[in-house]
C-alpha cells in the first residue's frame, strides 16, 4: 500500500496523486507541489489515504509545503503578469496579422515560463511571435494550440440544462461523442439541440449511453417483425426506457396497439436507415 494525497489544480477537475511527504493534509488545504512542469499550486481534493501500489504511477511526486503568505503573494503577482501578458500578446498578434485567437495565459508558479493558449482553424507559424514575447518578458515562452472543447472548458459557463459545463465542473477528460448516441437515445437530430456551446456534440450524451446500449439489446428495433399474443406485426415505435412497443398488425385495416417488449418474440430484425439529417450531423462528431 502507498500513502497518497489527491491534488486538484486550478481550472481542472482531474485529481492527481502526490506523496504527502509526512504531512497530514485535510481537504481544501492549499499546497505547493513538484510537477513535471516545475512547482505549481494546488488544492487538496481528498486527504491522506492508502491505495494499492498498482494505482500509483511511479515515480510519485511529493508535496513540497503548505502554501505560505509569501506563496499567495507570488500567485497574485503571477495573475497580474498573466493579465498584462494577455494584452501584450493580443497586440503582437494583431501587428503580425496572425490568424489565431488568444484564449488564455498561464504563468508558472516559480515565474519561469509563460504559457499562451490559442485556437486557430489551421496551423500557425508563431515563431516570430515567440521572439516578440520573449523580448518583452525576458522568460521562457510557450504557445499551445487547443481545440474548441478545451476553450469552453477554460472559460466555463452554463449549459442548456442550466448547470455548469460538465467539462468545467467534473469531467477529468473528454470522451468521444457520436451522433449515433443521440439517435439511440431518441433525441432530436437538430444540431442546435444536441450541440454544446463549443459547437460540438454535448458531452452529456455519453453519460447514459451504456444504459441505452443495454436496453437496445433487449428491445426490438423499429421495423422488426415480431410475434405477440395478438398475432404477427411490425414494430412502429419503441420506447427504450419504458419498454413499450407500438405494433402494427398485419392487414390493411389493422389498428396499432401497445405492448411490453417482454411479451413479444422477434421473428426478423428491422433495418436501420441513415437519414440525410443524420449524415449532415456527422461533421459534429469528435474524431
User: Tens of pLDDT along 22-81?
Assistant: 888 888 899 998 887 778 888 898 888 888 877 787 778 888 899 999 989 999 999 999
274 within a domain of the structure (yes/no):
no
Claim to verify: residue 11 and residue 43 sit in the same structural domain: yes
261 within a domain of the structure (yes/no):
yes
Claim to verify: residue 59 and residue 84 sit in the same structural domain: no
Q: Which residues of 129-154 are buried (b: 16+ CB within 10 A; e: fewer)?
A: beebbeebbeeebebebeeebbbbbb
Claim to verify: residue 100 and residue 122 sit in the same structural domain: yes
pLDDT at res. 169: 80
127 within a domain of the structure (yes/no):
yes
DSSP class of residue 24 equals -
Examine the fold and report which residue of 23, 48, 67 is the final residue of a domain before the chain moves on: 67
Examine the fold and report which residue of 48, 67, 86 is the final residue of a domain before the chain moves on: 67
As a whole number of angstroms, the distance between CA 142 and CA 179 comes to: 36
pLDDT at res. 273: 44
pLDDT at res. 287: 44
231 within a domain of the structure (yes/no):
yes
Q: Which structural domain range is residue 26 located in?
A: 2-67
Q: With CA atoms as reference, report the closest residue to 13 among 176, 170, 179.
A: 170
As a whole number of angstroms, the distance between CA 261 and CA 202 comes to: 30
For residue 92, give the CATH number of its domain: 3.30.300.20
Q: Give the chain's domain count.
A: 4
- Give the count of alpha carbons within 13 A of 59, CB side only: 5
* pLDDT per position as a tens digit, 188-205: 788 888 888 888 888 888
The DSSP element (H or E) to which 82 belongs, if any, is helix 69-96
124 within a domain of the structure (yes/no):
yes
pLDDT at res. 286: 46
Task: State the CB neighbour count (10 A cutoff) for residue 69.
Answer: 7
DSSP 92-124: HHHHHT---EEEEEEE-TTS-EEEEEEE-SS--
Claim to verify: residue 236 and residue 252 sit in the same structural domain: yes
Residue 20 phi/psi, 5-degree rounding, is: -70, -15
Assess whether pLDDT exceeds 50 at residue 85: yes
Hey, which residues does 101 pair with through a beta bridge?
119
240 within a domain of the structure (yes/no):
yes
pLDDT at res. 83: 93
Claim to verify: residue 138 and residue 79 sit in the same structural domain: yes
Hey, which residues does 5 pair with through a beta bridge?
18
Claim to verify: residue 63 and residue 80 sit in the same structural domain: no
159 within a domain of the structure (yes/no):
no
Q: Are 159 and 166 in contact (CB under 8 A)?
A: yes
Claim to verify: residue 16 and residue 57 sit in the same structural domain: yes
279 within a domain of the structure (yes/no):
no
Examine the fold and report which residue of 52, 67, 82 is the final residue of a domain before the chain moves on: 67
Claim to verify: residue 260 and residue 227 sit in the same structural domain: yes
Assess whether pLDDT exceeds 50 at residue 123: yes
Assess whether pLDDT exceeds 60 at residue 212: yes
Claim to verify: residue 79 and residue 141 sit in the same structural domain: yes
Question: Average pLDDT in the 156-174 region?
Answer: 83
pLDDT at res. 275: 47
Amino acid at each position: 500500500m502507498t500513502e497518497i494525497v489527491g491534488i486538484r489544480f486550478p481550472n481542472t477537475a482531474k485529481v492527481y496523486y502526490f506523496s504527502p511527504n509526512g504531512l497530514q493534509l485535510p481537504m481544501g488545504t492549499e499546497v505547493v507541489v513538484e510537477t513535471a512542469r516545475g512547482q505549481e499550486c494546488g488544492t487538496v481534493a481528498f486527504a491522506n489515504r492508502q491505495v494499492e501500489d498498482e494505482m500509483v504511477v511511479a515515480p510519485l511526486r511529493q508535496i513540497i509545503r503548505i502554501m505560505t503568505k509569501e506563496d499567495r503573494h507570488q500567485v497574485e503577482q503571477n495573475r497580474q503578469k498573466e493579465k498584462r501578458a494577455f494584452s501584450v500578446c493580443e497586440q503582437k498578434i494583431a501587428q503580425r496579422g496572425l490568424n489565431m485567437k488568444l484564449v488564455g495565459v498561464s504563468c508558472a508558479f516559480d515565474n519561469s515560463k509563460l504559457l499562451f493558449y490559442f485556437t486557430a482553424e489551421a496551423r500557425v507559424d508563431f515563431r516570430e511571435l515567440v521572439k516578440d514575447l520573449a523580448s518583452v518578458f525576458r522568460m521562457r515562452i510557450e504557445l499551445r494550440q487547443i481545440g474548441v472543447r478545451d476553450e469552453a472548458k477554460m472559460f466555463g459557463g452554463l449549459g442548456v440544462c442550466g448547470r455548469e459545463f460538465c467539462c468545467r465542473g467534473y469531467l477529468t477528460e473528454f470522451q468521444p461523442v457520436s451522433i449515433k448516441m443521440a439517435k439511440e437515445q431518441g433525441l432530436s437530430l437538430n444540431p442546435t439541440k444536441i450541440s454544446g456551446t463549443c459547437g460540438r456534440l454535448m458531452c452529456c450524451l455519453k453519460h447514459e449511453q451504456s444504459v441505452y446500449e443495454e436496453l437496445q439489446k433487449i428491445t426490438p428495433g423499429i421495423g422488426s417483425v415480431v410475434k405477440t399474443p395478438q398475432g404477427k406485426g411490425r414494430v412502429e415505435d419503441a420506447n427504450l426506457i419504458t419498454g413499450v412497443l407500438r405494433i402494427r398488425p398485419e392487414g390493411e385495416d389493422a389498428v396499432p396497439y401497445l405492448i411490453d417488449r417482454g411479451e413479444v418474440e422477434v421473428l426478423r430484425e428491422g433495418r436501420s436507415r441513415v437519414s440525410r439529417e443524420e449524415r449532415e450531423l456527422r461533421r459534429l462528431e469528435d474524431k
